[in-house]
Amino acid sequence: MAKTTQPSWLDSAVFYEIYPQSFKDSNGDGIGDFNGIISKLDYICGLGCNAIWMNPCFESPFGDAGYDVSDYYSAAPRYGTNEDLRRLFSEAHSRGMHILLDLVPGHTSVEHKWFKESLKAEKNEFTDRYVWTDSVWEEPSGMGCLRGISDRNGSCAVNFFSHQPALNYGFYKPDRPWQQPMDAEGPLATREELKKIMRFWLAMGCDGFRVDMAGSLVKHDEDSKGTIALWQDIRTFLDKEFPEAALISEWGEPDKSIKGGFHMDFLLHFGPSHYNDLFRCAEPYFSERGKGDASEFVAKYLELHKKAGGDGLICIPSGNHDMERLSFTVHGDSLKIAFAFLLSMPGAPFIYYGDEIGMKYLENLVSVEGGFERTGSRSPMQWDKSTNAGFSSAPAEKLYICLDPSADRPNAEDQISDSNSLYNEVKKLIAIRKAHPALLSCGEIGFLSDGKNAAPLVYVRSAEDEKILVVLNPAGKAAELGLKAEIKETLYSFGGEIGRDGEKIKIPAKSAGFYKIA
């Protein structure tokens, strides 16, 4: 396959993830919407973010917060109309911003018209749109299923929740009569429909897609060979019709996703990434207690970075709608040092809404729309001290999810006016990142210290003729490290600048710094 070309805007992109239900309600119904997002685009720009990833916004019964689509071509009425969404794209573009939609290609809702047609015993256009066995008594191995729900004789595979039937992209190695190969009529029709969906929204003005469960489409797929080939076909289509469209995968295996034609791959919070060692464990690395260890993360990151090659990038998010908020286990000034890390690593940074003001994870909430323990990370954005923290004018009991009840809950208005706030530290870090090619997404990285046993995390970012030393020491004790390079300029420091003692640098406790070096 030909080399994947990065859209020109991705190198300097800093993303802000918006969970639309919880961001800003413009009409007082207790649920966020497109017009609410439009009203806060200047806030996002003011922070320094120039790109948005918006979680699913298509029609849905919302059994899984929109990850159960019932119509890929229509905006969910709770958020507004297709025309409202078009206006959101336009308003973002007028501010020099880009927007990715969240695309869920692996399954739909049981309420989708395709699925309702596939239930029929009579052969029709959608009979093979989903993964069906040919007998109600046979369930697809290794997958959950729906069965006994229609006159059709068969069981339908599901991908996640029982109301999310799996779309049919074929089997890489079919071993049962009902398992269709990738080039069968049904799987090819599903693939072409996926292109049609992408074409519709890209022509409307969106700038690309974050793809949910991107590595799961082809079944019985040895080493993801079939799924890689499928995405290579999608890449060919995009390169021809929408060359500036970005494609970012939830895959967690950049050697596969990048080969498939994705520009970036998310570092996942599950699996072997060791991402949780940094932020979400009993003793996270970014803690002044100094009991964490980043070395296994660094080793795995370098392995993945090498596999991604020169054409692909690994994204490290502050958090997202599927995990506890960053502030749940990382506290106080450690949050600022964590953001110094997130905003100085290669790949586009992703900031989950509210993380920039230290919003809290709300424990023990009753599940809302399939959130379960994830619900506590999806509470309304806290804008100010007015009614419902400025999120909505609806009565409190009608809010999508309850607000943080704490008297000291943070809000954006207060943090903007406080020069020492987390918000202003994040804003400063974004500005420094965007001003230096070495700190952008495509700059190279080399580690001088891997954070083993709470040692400092030290690395050099480089691009063209610029080299920047990043020194992070979240632990509550000073440290030192050998360094021969000449320090030419301090670009950023928090908690004190490093000192020099011959060929060693002395690193203050609870500090972060970026330094130009020779």
pLDDT one-digit tens code per residue, 9-45: 999 999 999 999 999 999 999 999 999 999 999 999 9
State the DSSP string of 155-214.
Answer: EEEESSSTT-BBB---BSS--STT--BTTSHHHHHHHHHHHHHHHHHHHHT--EEEETTG
What percent of the chain is modeled with pLDDT above 70?
99
Q: What pLDDT band is residue 305 in, cutting at 50, 70 and 90?
A: confident
Q: Domain 107-168: what homologous superfamily?
A: Oligo-1,6-glucosidase; Domain 2 (3.90.400.10)
pLDDT one-digit tens code per residue, 356-386: 999 999 999 999 999 999 999 999 999 999 9
pLDDT (0 to 100) of residue 2: 56
pLDDT (0 to 100) of residue 308: 80
Whose CA is closest to 391, among 15, 27, 53?
27
pLDDT (0 to 100) of residue 350: 97
Helix (H) or strand (E) holding 73: strand 71-75
Q: Across all residues in the chain, what is the average pLDDT?
A: 96
pLDDT at 310 over 90: no
Whose CA is closest to 174, among 136, 211, 134, 214?
134
Q: CA 231, CA 322: separation in Å to the nearest integer?
A: 25
Quick one: average pLDDT of 229-253?
96
The residues facing 470 across adjacent strands are 459, 514
DSSP 120: S
Whose CA is closest to 94, among 54, 50, 56?
50
What percent of the chain is modeled with pLDDT above 90?
94
Q: What pLDDT band is residue 3 in, cutting at 50, 70 and 90?
A: low
Quick one: average pLDDT of 227-245?
97
pLDDT (0 to 100) of residue 271: 84
pLDDT at 249 over 70: yes
- For the ranges 120-129, 242-251, 303-312, the lowest mean pLDDT is seen at 303-312
Assigned token pair, 276: 């949780």
Q: CA 341, CA 338: separation in Å to the nearest integer?
A: 5
pLDDT one-digit tens code per residue, 475-502: 999 999 999 999 999 999 999 999 999 9
For tokens 């943080």, the residue is 404
Residue span(s) of the chain under CATH 2.60.40.1180 come to 445-517
Q: CA 116, CA 137: separation in Å to the nearest integer?
A: 20
Options 3.30.420.40, 2.60.40.1180, 3.40.50.620, 3.30.1360.120; CATH of 445-517 = 2.60.40.1180
Residues ≥6 apart with Cβ < 8 Å to 464? 437, 438
For tokens 């203050």, the residue is 508
Residue span(s) of the chain under CATH 3.20.20.80 come to 15-105+188-433
Residue span(s) of the chain under CATH 3.90.400.10 come to 107-168
pLDDT one-digit tens code per residue, 410-457: 999 999 999 999 999 999 999 999 999 999 999 999 999 999 999 999
Quick one: average pLDDT of 394-409?
97
pLDDT (0 to 100) of residue 202: 98
Q: Domain 15-105+188-433: what homologous superfamily?
A: Glycosidases (3.20.20.80)
Q: What pLDDT band is residue 168 in, cutting at 50, 70 and 90?
A: very high
